[in-house]
Structure 1
């Protein structure tokens, strides 16, 4: 369960006030895979960061039960001078999971070959994404936060990522940011639309997509 209690988030951009969350009171139920929909700039990634605890709200709070992942596929916390294997080992220790099991899982999933034992700074963007997604999915969380991660990589890696994500969703919930409605329909069983600081929750994914597309047409 993720509950927003009077959640407010504002920024001042170029002298203008930008409202991402306007006193939101809403609950994402336990075990649901919720798509977070909204136009570019609506604040979806900001909301995800607040759920993850890496960004503070201006007012209000977010209350959750169970464990919540960092945004899946986020590679910003990896150390450039450490190898992929060393970064994986470090994260395993931080989260208290079996080091060897996580190393084996990530090595197999990411398919980096000899690069797994080379410094992270030498990786291409695609290789970084493979490592980050593998590490994220290799640790069991009650809720996964996903920000367009399955959009990276070639078609085979996308298929592999989607299949693994669906396998994880059999036992966990998620909050998924995606601009691909096909992916939303495939991965999510609920959705919420963020617009002008307001968040509207739908148990019916199609109803949420219709709302989102009305917003997009209105902006067009």
Structure 2
């Protein structure tokens, strides 16, 4: 369980992005955080992960939450790939050798373990960060807009890891896509103008979210050409 009490977050001199949110969120289910662009999805994920501090209110985490999948700010570019993975494993109480083996197997970067992280391509670093997320043991995994990255084969691996982890852990997926929520989640928190409503049934949450979206305006008909 994750308990949010009067949770508010506002950027400097701005209106609250999250405004007085009080709700209990399940930590053992597949929860979609549904919201349009700039509705506060990323902000809420960062608050849950402890990457930013609420302007007011509180978060009580009765489960072990991950960092957002793909998070790289903790990486040290001058350290080797293996050193970075070992550091993360120690922080989260995992066996370093097992985590290195998992990441190397998933990414195919075993030959790069002793190379500085800066020697890896941008895509390889991204693949590493996602593989590392899935390699570490958490009660609940956090995803900000995506849980797969890269080329089709690696995306397929991410999806398989997502499914495997969700059998024993909770998932919180922030997305603006109703289809993603319907396909991968079973409950939803819908964000609309700084306010949020929890739905124990994802279909109900998706319906409420879709009703909140602006109706697309029809394109104007092309003008008929005028004669000379």
Fold conserved between structures, TM > 0.5 = yes
Gaps of at least 5 residues in structure 2 are: 218-228
Instruction: Classify the secondary structure of the residue corresponding to 1:146.
Output: strand
Specify which of 193, 197, 200 is matched with residue 196 of structure 1. Answer: 193
* Cα distance, 1:75–1:204 mapped onto 2, change above 3 Å: same
Matches within 5 A, 1:1-220: 1-12=1-12, 17-217=14-214
CA contact (8 A) 1:166 1:187 kept: no
Gaps of at least 5 residues in structure 1 are: none
TM-score by length of 1: 0.91
CA contact (8 A) 2:90 2:96 kept: yes
CA contact (8 A) 2:40 2:191 kept: yes
Deviations 1:54-82 (A, max 9, x none): 11111110111121111111112111111
CA contact (8 A) 2:148 2:159 kept: no
Higher helix share: 1
Instruction: Classify the secondary structure of the residue corresponding to 1:150.
Output: coil
Instruction: Classify the secondary structure of the residue corresponding to 2:36.
Output: coil
* Cα distance, 1:219–1:47 mapped onto 2, change above 3 Å: farther
Aligned residue pairs total 217
C-alpha distance in 1, partners of 2:40/2:171? 18
* Cα distance, 1:219–1:71 mapped onto 2, change above 3 Å: farther
C-alpha distance in 2, partners of 1:3/1:219? 36
- Deviating beyond 6 angstroms after TM superposition, the runs of 4 or more aligned structure 1 residues are none
C-alpha distance in 2, partners of 1:67/1:218? 39
Task: Please provide the CA RMSD for this pair.
Answer: 1.8
* Cα distance, 1:192–1:219 mapped onto 2, change above 3 Å: farther
Q: Radius of gyration: which is bigger?
A: 2
